[in-house]
Amino acid sequence: MHIVVLAGGIGGARFLLGVREVARARGAEVTAVVNVGDDVTLHGLRICPDLDSVMYTLGGGADPERGWGRTGETWVVKEELARYGAEPTWFGLGDKDIATHLVRTRMLDAGYPLSAVTEALCTRWEPGVRMIPATDERCETHVVVDIEGKTQAIHFQEWWIRYRGELPAQRFVFVGAESAKPAPGVLDAIASADAVLVAPSNPVVSVAPILAVPGIRDALRAGPARVSGFSPIIGNSPVRGMADKCLDAMGVAVSAAGVGGLYGARSAEGILDRWLVDTTDAGTAVPGVEVRSRPLWMTDPATTAAMVEEALDNG
Ligand code: GDP
Ligand code: FO1
Ligand code: CA
């Protein structure tokens, strides 16, 4: 059995802990197609937050409280950079995390594609799933905002960290998406999948940038496997993070029904066959989609595995 998961950062990573449990029990293999829209180059380093969140979480090296970066992190380099006034001082790179970015940047500079670099980094972390970036091309999410009366597009990280997500987002733009290609293995994984799962990741800035890579959406729509999505919204709010602000910008209701409708039914123009919502949201309807309700709190891998089983259930 082959399970393919579309994943962002922390929501995707926690979900994959459950998928990995299921895969171990069933002897299945897992391919995670991970968002690269958050990626950014700062201080000369290529930083891939969602890939790293998944890699560190599955590899047992993630800081569970912060939700990003390494456990037992120190911040000496960050403090030294700040003393030089080296911008951007609003972005915090931990010392341990920097080692990852140094290795990644050196390999990219030597000509290796991001997918190969990710595979190399994973030989250390052994995440137990195959991790593939959605694309090897640069495809970065920008946010259209007004700053001092001027409309401009800023990088997603600047919007989220520097401005704390407080500048009203007018639009999200996936710069470079039109000319991007799916990374090697992505389309084959989808075509050979027995199940495709859309993690309860941020639909606008984690899942949409994956779907924006030409070919991925079509492959999902044409693929042989049931596509099941999981709502990141429980009872009209995100479990954590900025999904409410992102959905507001799209004019989409912050609800399980809103996100389900945004993905849409495969039988119409969308991607979903089945939509999993929390029991709080029982009664949610998405035209053309089979909606099932069950607890969707990813409190631990076993609980998350039970969520995953609901998507795999053929009953
Ligand atoms: P990010 O890239 O680090 O922001 O992480 P993702 O995009 O992968 O996931 C963020 C989303 O995960 C948020 O919209 C949260 O609402 C959702 N999320 C986090 N924990 C849970 C959980 O336990 N259950 C559900 N259903 N969603 C969750
Ligand atoms: N989030 C913050 O709120 N502040 C930071 O300084 C910060 C630095 C950072 C460095 C590496 C990394 O992989 C992630 C980092 N994040 C930071 C998290 C990141 O901005 C977002 O949470 C994700 O991109 C959303 O998926
Ligand atoms: Ca993300």
Best of 19, 240, 303 to mutate for ligand 1, by most ligand atoms within 8 A of CB? 240
- In ligand 2, the atom with minimum distance to the C-alpha of 49 is 13
Residue 115 near ligand 1, beta carbon < 6 Å: no
Query: What would the mean pLDDT of 272-276 be, rounded to a whole number?
Result: 98
Residue 235 near ligand 1, beta carbon < 6 Å: no
Distance 211 CA to ligand 1 centre (A): 17
- Domain spanning 2-138+178-312: which superfamily? CofD-like domains (3.40.50.10680)
Share of the chain above pLDDT 70, in %: 100
Residue 257: beta bridge partners? none
Domain ranges in the chain are 2-138+178-312
Degrees to nearest 5, angle at CA 142 with 111 and 132:
40
Residue 239 near ligand 1, beta carbon < 6 Å: yes
Which residue is associated with the tokens 């076993």?
A: 302
Q: Please report which ligand is nearest the Cα atom of 243.
A: 1
Share of the chain above pLDDT 90, in %: 97
Q: What is the pLDDT of residues 179-219, one digit of tens each?
A: 999 999 999 999 999 999 999 999 999 999 999 999 999 99
State the ipTM, two decimals: 0.98
Q: What pLDDT sits at residue 191?
A: 98
Residue 240 near ligand 1, beta carbon < 6 Å: yes
Distance 314 CA to ligand 3 centre (A): 31
Query: What would the mean pLDDT of 256-267 be, rounded to a whole number?
Result: 98
Query: What would the mean pLDDT of 36-45 be, rounded to a whole number?
Result: 98
Q: What pLDDT sits at residue 305?
A: 98
**Cis link prior to 88 (omega < 30° from 0)?**
yes
Query: What would the mean pLDDT of 266-282 be, rounded to a whole number?
Result: 97
Residue 12 near ligand 1, beta carbon < 6 Å: yes
- In ligand 2, the atom with minimum distance to the C-alpha of 160 is 20
Q: Which residues surround ligand 3, an ion (CB under 5 A)?
A: 8-9, 38, 50, 206
Listed range (53-62, 99-108, 124-133, 237-246) with the worst mean pLDDT? 237-246
Best of 157, 158, 204 to mutate for ligand 2, by most ligand atoms within 8 A of CB? 157
Residue 241 near ligand 1, beta carbon < 6 Å: yes
Residue nearest to atom 1 of ligand 2 (CA): 161
Q: Which amino acid is at 293?
A: S
Q: What is the pLDDT of residues 212-256, one digit of tens each?
A: 999 999 999 999 999 999 999 999 999 999 999 999 988 999 999
Q: Is the pLDDT of residue 4 over 90?
A: yes
pLDDT band at 137 (very low <50, low <70, confident <90, very high): very high
- In ligand 2, the atom with minimum distance to the C-alpha of 9 is 26
Residue nearest to atom 2 of ligand 2 (CA): 161
Q: What pLDDT sits at residue 315?
A: 84
- In ligand 1, the atom with minimum distance to the C-alpha of 296 is 26
pTM, two decimals, is 0.98
Q: What whole-number distance in Å separates Cα of residue 60 and Cα of residue 74?
A: 17
Q: What whole-number distance in Å separates Cα of residue 84 and Cα of residue 165?
A: 27
User: Where are the extended beta strands (E) located within the chain?
Assistant: 2-7, 29-34, 40-42, 45-47, 130-133, 140-147, 150-155, 171-175, 195-198, 226-230, 233-234, 237-238, 274-277, 290-293
